[in-house]
Amino acid sequence: MLLLLLIACLDPDAPIAADDTESFVFEVPKGSTASGLAPALQEAGLLPSGLLPPDLQWKLFLRQRDASCLKAGSFEVSRQLSLNELIDALCGAPLADDVAFTVVEGWRIREIDAALTAAGLIQAGEYATLARSKKVDAPFTIESPTLEGYLYPETYMVSPGRFTAKAFIERQLGTFQERFLGKHEQGFGERSLHDVVVMGSMLEREEPKPAERPLVAGILWKRIDNGWQLGVDATSRYTLDDWNDRKAFLKKLRDPGDEYNTRIHKGLPPTAIGNPSTESLEAAISPVPSEFWYYLHDAEQNLHPARNADEHEANRRKYNVY
């Protein structure tokens, strides 16, 4: 009789704390039982206070509510929930066990693939194959023969158990559209999106300081518009397995058959040479006009532009750049 009276005094539909709307994550450890959660629930403030001790109220509540559906994992809850709503939450789908994965600004498809492989998220080559073949659902038209340049660099929260290379690439393309393309619905004047992305990828590699990229963009666009070779050595590094392999790089510079060799071939390279940041993309569409045609960087990565070949050679000697 006393037990029935105690149960009757318990309202399982009353909010635990009606005014406390702040959500937080509650962890149900593996192997937990509903009754065994009482101390953790009490500590988290998820049990009602009253005439009866909170843990006793929980045990009485479990006599009238089946909690065998309880799952291990992390759950979003609040103290505004009732006991019935709390059980419903703890029996629902747990929050994804997400981890952070960072795509570094300037990384090529191959570097992203290698990092995903090292993180245990894909089999080697899986991401690269999709990105190079464009066998994904893109939210906008991509003129480039591959997705290089459009795979937005960012720190993404990913779920290892549900990760797929295709979904991740589509997420990167969606982020590119949100962070850059969607802000320029009017287009890019005489430049195509492909042109802008390729230029942005070169600026990412050519100029370490974002504030200087619009000036470098002005020099490079001026070279293209006047039929000059770009002379951007970073493009010849693009197809190397190791970006910093100097011996292989010097061989590329002497290869007239290398379509990425902008010392020999005029115009932009066939694709972007990496995946640029927003700063580089914005610099590509906002070039600063100047009297300069050349530039180099000293050992501290400071930019030194020049108006002509003689000034450029003088800068080479002055800063020992060859």
Q: Please give the Cα distance from 19 to 11 (Å, whole number).
A: 17
Helix (H, G, I), strand (E, B) or coil at 281: helix
- State the pLDDT at residue 1: 44
Residue whose C-alpha is closest to residue 45's, from 69, 16, 65, 74: 16
For residues 21 and 76, the answer to whether their CB atoms sit within 8 Å is no
For residues 172 and 142, the answer to whether their CB atoms sit within 8 Å is no
Give domain limits for the chain: 2-90, 99-183, 193-319
- State the pLDDT at residue 51: 63
Q: What six digits make up the tokens of 42?
A: 């009490």
DSSP string, 189-200: TTS-HHHHHHHH
For residues 273 and 220, the answer to whether their CB atoms sit within 8 Å is no
CA 211 to chain centre: 22
pLDDT tens, position by position, for the chain (322 residues)?
A: 444 444 445 788 999 888 888 888 888 888 889 999 999 999 999 998 766 788 888 998 999 888 889 888 888 899 999 999 999 999 998 877 788 999 999 999 999 999 999 999 999 999 999 999 999 999 999 999 999 999 999 999 898 878 999 999 999 999 999 999 999 999 999 999 999 999 999 999 999 999 999 999 999 999 999 999 999 999 999 999 999 999 999 999 999 999 999 999 999 999 999 999 999 999 999 999 999 999 999 999 999 999 999 999 999 999 999 8
Write the single-letter amino acid at 1: M
Q: pTM of the predicted model, to two decimals?
A: 0.73
CATH topology of domain 2-90: Dna Ligase; domain 1 (3.30.1490)
Tell me the β-bridge partners of 25. Answer: 76
Residue whose C-alpha is closest to residue 3's, from 62, 43, 48, 45: 62
Q: What six digits make up the tokens of 256?
A: 């007239």
